[in-house]
A and B are shown apart, each in its own frame.
Chain A
Amino acid sequence: MAAKAAAAPVAELTGPLAGLKEKFGEAVKPGDFEGVVINHDRLVEVATYIRDELGYDYLTSVTGVDYLAQNEMEVVYHVLNTRAGGAPLVFKARTPRENAVVPSLITVWPGADFQEREAWDLLGIKFEGHPYLKRILMWEGFSGHPLRKDWKEAYYEQDVKPFDSRWPGGHHRRAEDRVPYADNVNFPADFDPTVYTAQADAAVYERFKNYEVDERGQFVPKEAVKDENGNGKFQEYLETDELVVNLGPQHPSTHGVFRMVVALDGEKIMHLEPVMGYLHRNHEKIGERNTYIQNMPFTDRLDYLSSMSNNFGYALAVEKLMKVTPPERAEYIRVIMAELTRICNHVWAIGFLLNDLGAFFTPALYAIEERELILDLFEAVSGSRMMCNYFRFGGVARDLPVGWLETCRELVFNRLPKKVDELDYFLSENEIIRARCEGSGVLTGDDAVKYSTAGPVLRASGVAYDVRRAEPYSIYERFEFDVAVRNHGDVYDRYLIRLDEVRQSLRILQQALNQIPEKGEIQAGKKQYSARVPAGQAYGRVEGPKGELGFYVVSDGTANPYRYHIRAPSFINLTALGPMSVGQKIADAVIILGSIDIVLGETDR
């Protein structure tokens, strides 16, 4: 793990990395972390070798770090071996800050697509060879790359929190009163809004090569995509029209503020472009200003359906740096919370997939009923239904209240197993569900790995990769459970796998509830308001309900993370949305999206 190495730089490359040095010589250097720095001239070559010869077939995270003092940009890659499991392999490429360029690895791991675009958008790192290097979270035309350390937003006060004083002169001063425009905006000098033409949408439509905007502002095909018989590309027997449809950002089926732009031929999808960022809340920028512990409640708001899992991932990453381990009882409490969260999330996902299928809200009401019962448990321990903010570095915030375990046991042993069977009984064999879901939105196992999908999406395509097994964290190696796998990779399997996972979670919960020590510490060391985190870098990951949720934290030894990046499964899983939907009917795009199960708070961060 990266954290360990940070203190003591590795002089020699060992393990899988030893061969790299031999093969590529000076292009590969050991870093001051457990991993290598690769000269960017040969990055693609070395990456291909890492994929093919070392077996790291899955690119999990790509991000950048801006080292302002060194005048350097660093691109950090974490890759995984889905067959052998184990810790991720870390490698970096470095480039000067001005005109930061590294080659794109999209040809080696197509899953790099969105993450490279994100690094370009937020950090201004150019990825040479990326086919569509446009902003992804902000809009095209926005000025500056906000995650750069020298980029300041309008409400900027100070580099790090806590701010000296929010009460100069003993009274509060509103942010609006401090800034020139009395609002959260900044404009470049000599900017004239009256003559400005927005580029935000034009950049999206650029992807639709065969289309253009005509004089009425309508979106029309440049030349009709038709064969010699005058038929559309997909429809063989029908005369069809091509048109481009926007679904979202306000659309009931997009599960929030997500937008899909689709080019249709009749009803068939010819191209689908996901557009996101409508809920980009600048989590990482704010996170780099917060103290470590202040970030905990912010993680709740990532995947707001499963706040406990998010807490878990972040706590793990920081604990790696601090080298603390929670006491026994706290570990059990954590696992119990994480698995309850998974159940919560999956029943919700099933309910809403059924909504998308047209069974409007009846199954969802049943799903929400169970979720409410679990939320009651969360509220009892943390004081909040959704935003639990319950984990601390080295433990959890409070002990379980009296009677909590009994209520939980009742739910886990008696009620939930029956309710899962009930959902299964009423839904799984339903003729309409099967007719709509079977065979639609197929993602093969190879593609699932290629596009870096994670969680249920990956496992429904026959890849048995689960972080709880591949690199067990916390106390997961103590429990007996199966990694749920399904093999067809269609919407139906992605529905079924969620039922399977709920059942496995119940198994883990039952064991944990039987084994949890009656009494004990819940926090290693003293409770602290500010965590002392040694310099270094760590990547903490958990198997969240949506897939691998990773936190990449770089500490410079101060009270605030220097870099704080989230590998969001909802975001990266969307890479596969386009390929899965092309050739399907437009109505199926809705259920394919539903079967990926995204939460916008996490997608856009």
Chain B
Amino acid sequence: MSQAEPFPNDPMVPPELSSNVFISTIDKFYNWGRKRSMWPMMFGLACCAIEMICVAAGRYDLARFGAELMRPSPRQADLMIVSGTVTKKMVPTIVRLYNQMPEPKYVLSMGACATSGGPFKEGYNVVSGIDKFLPVDVYVPGCPPKPEALLQGLLKLFEKIEKQSIRDVAWYRKTAIEAVPVPVLGPDLIDMRRAMEIREMSQSPVEPAADPAQA
């Protein structure tokens, strides 16, 4: 609440307390509380998870940002740090975990793999980026990102949270927030949102459009 003004001399407030009372908007207060207690899910996927653990340990000390409480249960977590390669075999679990997290929830994609598939993009068991399935709030580049980079990613998330307003955030609306359909492991990974499209295409395969620049 850095921008909050000390309360002006008001007869209702005893003089000895006047420098201890602040006025602010509810949004600022609400967001301040949320961003300073951003509990990540204890959830590591690959190499990047090791750097995430280092961030939580003594030297980089995630506790300075109020985010040191890694929760093993998605029900208690606010932030999913996707720390590592998302494989096809794993992605149904990740989506299910995301669906189990209560709103408000955020996704931070840590490292090249989670962002795009990274060095393993061409692999047959690799999903090219978690954003194919989940909405991502912050991308942190690197392979692995240095701990400082992850901390900066967290600060970027805080900036995003500061801009949200209690009046229009999705989780206080009457309309339910839809869960992401869990992908299925078939002959290849089936994104259930595209099931009809896959059925049609596998019956009458079409070639992708040629590269316009090459033509």
A: residues with CB less than 8 A from B are: 137-139, 141-143, 146, 153-157, 168-171, 173, 175-194, 196, 198, 200, 249-252, 256-257, 277-283, 285-286, 289, 297-298, 301, 304-305, 364-365, 368-369, 372, 385-387, 600-601
Contact B207 A387 (CB under 8 A): no
Cβ–Cβ contact A304 & B187, under 8 A: no
Chain B's interface size range is 35 or more
Least CB distance from A572 to B in Å reads 20
B:132-170 near A, CB below 8 Å: 132, 143-144, 146
B122: CB under 8 A from chain A? yes
Contact A141 B57 (CB under 8 A): no
Partner of B199, one of A186, A192, A251, A368: A192
Residues of A within 8 A of B126 (CB): 184, 281-282
Contact present for B125 and A193 (CB under 8 Å): no
Asked if B67 is at the interface of the complex by the 8 Å CB criterion, the answer is no
CB distance from B202 to the nearest CB of A (A): 4
Which residues of chain B are near A601, meaning CB under 8 Å?
A: 46-47
Contact A256 B186 (CB under 8 A): no
Residues of B5-51 at the interface with A, using a CB-CB cut-off of 8 Å, are 42-47, 49-51
Q: By the criterion CB–CB under 8 Å, are A189 and B205 in contact?
A: yes
Partner of B128, one of A176, A191, A200, A369: A176
Contact status A386-B201, CB under 8 Å: no
Closest chain B residue to A249, Cβ basis: B93
Q: Flag whether B54 is at the interface (Cβ < 8 A).
A: yes
Asked whether A168 and B59 contact (CB < 8 A) given A256-B44, A387-B47, the answer is: no
B-side interface mostly: loop
Which of B120, B144, B186, B206 is the one whose CB lies under 8 Å from A281? B120
Q: Is the CB of B87 within 8 A of A387?
A: no
Q: Within 8 Å of chain A (Cβ to Cβ): is B3?
A: no
- Cα distance A298–B85 when bound, in Å? 13
Q: Which of A170, A184, A189, A301 counts the most chain B CB atoms within 10 A? A: A184
- Return 28 A-B CB contacts under 8 Å, by A number: A138-B89, A142-B185, A142-B187, A143-B187, A143-B188, A155-B128, A169-B211, A170-B213, A177-B211, A178-B208, A180-B208, A185-B191, A187-B188, A188-B187, A191-B186, A191-B198, A193-B195, A193-B199, A194-B199, A249-B90, A257-B45, A277-B87, A278-B89, A279-B46, A282-B124, A386-B50, A601-B46, A601-B47
Nearest CB on A from B70, distance (A): 8
- Asked whether, in the complex, the Cβ of B201 is within 8 Å of the Cβ of A193, the reply is no
Q: How far is the CB of A14 from chain B (nearest CB, A)?
A: 42
Set of chain B residues within 8 Å of A188, measured between Cβ atoms: 187, 202
Question: Which residues of B176-215 have CB atoms within 8 Å of chain A's CB atoms?
Answer: 184-192, 194-196, 198-199, 201-203, 205-209, 211, 213-214
Identify which of B87, B122, B128, B203 contacts A286 (C-beta below 8 A).
B122
* Complex: A277 Cα to B186 Cα, angstroms: 15
Q: Least Cβ distance of B201 to chain A in Å?
A: 6
B residues near A170, Cβ cutoff 8 Å = 213
> Contacts of A143 on B, CB cut-off 8 Å?
187-188
Interface string of B49-91 (1 = CB under 8 A from A): 1110110011100000000000010000000000011010110
**Chain B residues within 8 Å of A285, by CB:** 123-124
Contact A184 B50 (CB under 8 A): no
Q: Evaluate contact between A297 and B54: CB separation under 8 angstroms.
A: no
Contacts of B49 in A (CB 8 A): 256
Is B97 interfacial (CB 8 A cutoff)? yes
> Whole-angstrom distance between the alpha carbons of A153 and B127 in the complex?
12
Apart from the given pairs A187-B202, A193-B192, A285-B123, 11 other A-B contacts in the complex at a CB distance below 8 Å: A153-B122, A181-B201, A191-B187, A279-B85, A279-B90, A280-B125, A281-B123, A289-B122, A369-B58, A369-B59, A372-B54
For A368, the chain B residues whose CB sits under 8 A away are 53-54, 57-59
CB distance from A548 to the nearest CB of B (A): 22
By beta carbon, the residue of chain B nearest A364 is B57
B105 within 8 A of partner (CB): no
Given contacts A141-B186, A256-B46, contact A168 B128 (CB under 8 A): no
Closest 9 A/B residue pairs (Cβ): A169-B213, A282-B123, A304-B47, A143-B187, A153-B124, A191-B202, A368-B57, A281-B120, A193-B195
Question: Closest CB-CB distance, A37 to chain B, in whole Å?
Answer: 31
**Chain B residue contacts of A365, Cβ below 8 A:** 57-58
Distance of A187 Cα from B187 Cα, bound (Å):
7
Q: Which residue of the partner chain B has the closest CB to A195? A: B199
Residue of A180, A252, A283, A298 touching B205 (CB-CB under 8 A): A180
Complex CA distance for A412 and B199, rounded to whole angstroms: 62
Partner of B185, one of A141, A156, A286, A304: A141
CB-defined contacts of B128 to chain A, threshold 8 Å = 155, 175-176, 183-184
Which one of A155, A182, A193, A385 has the highest number of Cβ atoms from chain B below 10 Å of its Cβ?
A193
Bound form: Cα–Cα A110–B153 in Å: 47
Which residue of B50, B54, B58, B72 is within 8 Å of A304 (Cβ)?
A: B50
A-side contacts of B45, CB under 8 Å: 256-257, 279
